Amino acid sequence: MDKLPQRLDDLLLRYLDGALNPTEKQDLEKDIATNDALKKRFEQLQTMHALLKAHKVEQPSKNFTQLVMGKLNQSPGYSVKFPVRNGILLLIGVLLVAAIASILVPAGVFDSISMTIDLNQVEPAKKYIERTLPAIPVDGKLLVNFIILINLVLGWLVLDRAILKPIFHRRVQQGQ
């Protein structure tokens, strides 16, 4: 189907809106009856026009602006993802693991754990890297100390996010 000129589309749309004078309307109706392409385009536009008329444009309530403006000064709601009790249990678990590891490190449990990671033995390194790679020594005591440090940092984060923040948020809410 050949595309109709823009002026005919505009004329059809004005016809659907009822904006044509009687002579233009009569001439267009004759053209629609004789031209199949024009008739098909008119039917498409008529369908679209009916669909658009069927749907109402939603309007917000009259006091919408006042409601939005009234809530601007309020603090945003804080959503607690899990109860404080769960945060306390998680914190106790993290601190327990850090305490056990801290007791085992001075006792010398991890002193004998030391190894060397040879990067030349790793399969992807053999395929893609032609040079020899260094061997990395791993000290068990240092590794466990690093894990303890990470555990303590996680413990502080859990304390802040899961316990202290909800408690202080409740106090702020009660004070208002």
Residue 75's pLDDT is what? 60
Report how far residue 98's alpha carbon sits from residue 92's, in angstroms, rounded to the nearest whole number.
10
Q: Which amino acid is at 29?
A: E
For the chain, the structural domain boundaries read 6-54, 84-175
Give kind and range of the element (H or E) at residue 116. Answer: strand 114-118
With 0.75 as the threshold, say if the pTM is over it: no
Of residues 27 and 125, more confidently modeled: 27
Looking at every residue in the chain, the average pLDDT score rounds to 81
Please write the tens of the pLDDT for every residue from 54-92: 887 788 888 888 888 887 777 665 554 557 777 788 888
